[in-house]
A = this chain, B = another copy of it.
Amino acid sequence: MDRIDEQILRLLRENAQITSSDISKQVHLSVPAVSERIRKLEDTGLIRQFTVKLDREQLGLHLIAFVMVQIEKTEHIAGFRETVMQADCVLECHHIAGAYDYVLKVAVKGTADLERFISETLKQVEGVSKTNTMIVLSSMKEEM
């Protein structure tokens, strides 16, 4: 991981569709040298995935919320994790330290779907004793 790898990563993050030929011009290295570096960054796992960012609004997902969850007993965690992994509306799930045990980032069409997710999916999980929802009004920064 030298200066040039950092430059390549910056260019790929900005636009993963950039050609090796274009990167080659910017980093002053031959095309095979650039391809080889990208291959190695993938092999070492530093580049985890090539993906696309979609416009959630256009997908009809107008409501983002953070839902904090408290789990009563450790034996209920496996069931909770399974529910969360299967729920398409859960974008993120983090185990956290503090008053709550987990924080979820959820994307749904609107308040009706959010209510349904919280009361019919989340609260039905054994051990889920308490939740606290923060509705997102707007997002001014959202990177990976």
Residues of A within 8 A of B (CB): 9, 12-17, 44-55, 58-59, 64, 66, 68, 81, 84-85, 90-98, 100, 103, 134-144
Contacts of A15 in B (CB 8 A): 49-51
Instruction: Knowing A92-B142, A139-B92, A141-B85, say if A46 contacts B51 (CB, 8 Å).
Output: no
Contacts of A139 in B (CB 8 A): 92-95
Contacts of A137 in B (CB 8 A): 94-97
Contacts of A85 in B (CB 8 A): 140-141
Contacts of A141 in B (CB 8 A): 84-85, 90-93
A50 in contact with B16 (CB, 8 Å): yes
